[in-house]
């Protein structure tokens, strides 16, 4: 089960926190590439099935992580750039909502495939 954890950081630290989160995503992307490369030459047996499940789970997690980053950045921009119009803010909120919905759909798809 996943839970959301939040904590406070100084406003000036937000870009570095985002950078760290994105770097973690880069590590996962590298793992995804390696798994995909293994599948391209695999035997399509039990091992390949496990790798496909891992790919699906990591992809869903990655999508959720990027949605979180987008949400953090949107809040940072709203704070740092007060000239954001209400329309721009609504557009950001709509995009964040869509990213979260896509993330939830991906997670549900992974769970249904594993069942």
Tokens of residue 70, six digits: 């987008």
In a domain, 5, yes or no: no
- Domain range holding 38? 14-114
Q: Report the pLDDT value the prediction gives residue 88, as an integer from 0 to 100.
A: 79
CB 61 within 8 A of CB 109: no
Q: What is the pLDDT of residues 29-73, one digit of tens each?
A: 999 999 999 999 988 899 999 999 999 999 999 999 999 999 999
Query: What is the average per-residue pLDDT within 8-24?
Result: 94
99 close to 68: Cβ distance less than 8 angstroms: no
Question: What is this structure's pTM?
Answer: 0.67
What is the reported pLDDT for 50? 94
Into how many domains does the chain fold?
1
Residue positions counted in the chain: 115
Q: Is 56 part of a structural domain of the chain?
A: yes
pLDDT at 84: 63
- Cα distance between residue 34 and residue 9, in whole Å: 34
Q: Three-class SS of residue 38?
A: helix
Residue-wise pLDDT for 70-114, tens only, equals: 999 999 988 887 666 778 788 888 988 898 888 888 888 877 877
Domain-located, residue 80:
yes
Question: What's the CATH code of the domain at 72?
Answer: 1.10.132
Confidence of residue 5 (pLDDT cuts 50, 70, 90): confident
pLDDT at site 28: 94
**In angstroms, how far apart are the furthest CA atoms of the chain?**
56
List the one residue out of 55, 73, 72, 62 whose CA is nearest residue 24.
62
């Amino acid at each position: 089960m996943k839970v959301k954890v939040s904590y406070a950081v100084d406003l000036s630290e937000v870009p570095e926190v985002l950078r760290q989160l994105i770097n973690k995503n880069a590590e996962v992307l590298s793992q995804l590439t390696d798994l995909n490369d293994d599948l391209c030459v695999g035997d399509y047996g039990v091992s390949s099935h496990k790798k496909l499940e891992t790919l699906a789970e990591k992809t869903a997690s990655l999508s959720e992580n990027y949605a979180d980053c987008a949400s953090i950045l949107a809040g940072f921009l709203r704070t740092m750039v007060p000239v954001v119009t209400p329309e721009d803010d609504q557009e950001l909120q709509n995009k964040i909502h869509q990213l979260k919905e896509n993330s939830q759909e991906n997670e549900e798809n992974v769970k249904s495939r594993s069942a």
